[in-house]
């Protein structure tokens, strides 16, 4: 790593660069943990939301994950195809799709509970430091309009 510089365009000084590299690195840590479950990282995020809030409308899931419905739709179709969730018309509002976990999707949660401690171990950072990073990133998301 080079010395700090006053150059406002120095690569090493860019928040976007640090976030991009950190995101790729962290997602790479998740990949081998998710593969045995047949999940990609974006699919894992969908499952996390459903384990916490199921059932959900597509619209609400889209809001929670901050993904547009067009991006979310293929994720949901794939998760339905592998038997983790069902997409059904909402009985209260036929225009809305309700997303519910299948029994298989609910059972997957116990396997997924092993992931957070494995990620913490792999990162080799104290949990309290990771909580501070999370809090800082949450502030960045809010400041960026997320």
Looking at the predicted structure, is the pLDDT value of residue 3 above 60? yes
pLDDT tens column, 98-142? 999 999 999 999 999 999 999 999 999 999 999 999 999 999 999
Q: Look at residue 1 and tell me whether its pLDDT is greater than 70.
A: no
Domains of the chain: 37-113 (1.10.10.10), 114-146 (no CATH)
Q: Residue 18 is encoded by which pair of tokens?
A: 């640090």
- This prediction's pTM: 0.89
Q: What is the pLDDT of residue 96?
A: 78
């Amino acid at each position: 790593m080079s010395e700090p510089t006053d150059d406002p365009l120095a690569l090493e000084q860019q928040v976007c660069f640090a976030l991009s590299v950190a995101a790729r690195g962290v997602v790479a840590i998740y990949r081998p943990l998710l593969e045995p479950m047949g999940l990609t990282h974006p699919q894992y995020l969908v499952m996390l939301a459903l384990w916490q809030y199921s059932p959900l409308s597509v619209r609400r899931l889209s809001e929670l994950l901050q993904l547009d419905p067009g991006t979310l739709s293929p994720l949901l179709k794939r998760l339905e195809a592998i038997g983790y969730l069902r997409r059904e018309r909402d009985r209260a509002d036929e225009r809305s799709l309700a997303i519910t976990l299948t029994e298989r999707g609910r059972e997957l949660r116990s396997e997924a509970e092993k992931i957070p401690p494995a990620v913490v171990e792999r990162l080799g950072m104290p949990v309290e430091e990771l909580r501070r990073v999370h809090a800082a990133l949450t502030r960045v998301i809010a400041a960026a309009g997320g």
